[in-house]
Structure 1
Amino acid sequence: MSPGARCDKRSSARDAAALKADVRVWASRIGVKPKRIQIQRMTRKWASCSPAGRVCFSSDLLLEGAAFQEVVIVHELLHLLVPNHGKLFKSLLNAYLPSREAVAS
């Protein structure tokens, strides 16, 4: 299915549940506890993380492959530990996803 194609509600709900389950698995691995996990329409980015601990993912992410989803999930969850993209953030991202550059390109 191409990006921007519409999914039926059952397919979207199943995919959303799977994405949220993946977020919970990664949160446990990283040792963070997001207060809320949301999936909603976002036009400018794949995901966001609030200082209050809410992580929100674009519904368009459901149309992407599992490897790309994983990069986005880990990226956002790490923001619960490190709010910026400095050296510590990059080091943690590389530790959890050492092969992420091949996926993101």
Structure 2
Amino acid sequence: MSEVNSKNRFKQRVHEWAEKLDVQVVWLGVRPMKNKWASCSTEGHLNFNTELLDMDEPVWDYVIVHELLHFSVPNHGKLWKSLMRAHLGEYEACEKELRQKVQNKI
């Protein structure tokens, strides 16, 4: 799949999850990021790392849901973890995969 097609599919996936989680996305970008997989602002702006485009959809979903939940839960406490589990089940496998990718880059 071309990068443009991957980026469009990824953005479509973000919008699908945003609708499901009842989150208003004001602005959505996919761009190179040096130190993060994604970021969000309280104004509804989302940025995702282009490196995600080369990963599997379960990892996409993990990062997307992770960020979208921060619109209502600003930390990684018990509520956030409960919501992650409710939407993605055993999400820790994706967390581990992302940590390993970071380690492999170092």
- Indicate the TM-score class for this superposition, using the shorter chain for normalisation: 0.7 to 0.9
Normalised by the length of structure 1, the TM-score is 0.85
Distance 1:11 1:86 in 2: 37
Partner residue in 2 for 1:92: 83
Q: Which runs of 5+ in 2 are unaligned?
A: 97-106
1:88, CA displacement in angstroms?
1.3
Root-mean-square deviation (CA, aligned residues, Å) is: 1.3
Distance 1:67 1:104 in 2: 11
Distance 2:92 2:77 in 1: 17
Distance 1:99 1:90 in 2: 10
The correspondence for 2:63, drawn from 67, 72, 80, is 72
Amino acid in structure 1 at the alignment position of 2:83: L
Amino acid in structure 2 at the alignment position of 1:43: K
Normalised by the length of structure 2, the TM-score is 0.84
Q: How does 1:2-21 map to 2 (within 5 A)?
A: 11-21=2-12
Partner residue in 2 for 1:3: none
Distance 1:14 1:85 in 2: 32
Instruction: Using CA pairs under 8 Å that are at least 6 residues apart, name the structure with larger relative contact order, 1 or 2.
Output: 1
Partner residue in 1 for 2:102: none
Other structure's SS at 2:24 match? coil
Q: Greater helix percent: which structure?
A: 2
How many residues are matched? Answer: 96
Distance 1:90 1:99 in 2: 10
1:1-35 per-position Cα deviation (integer Å, ceiling 9, x unaligned): xxxxxxxxx81111100000000110111111111
* 4+ residue runs over 4 A deviation: none
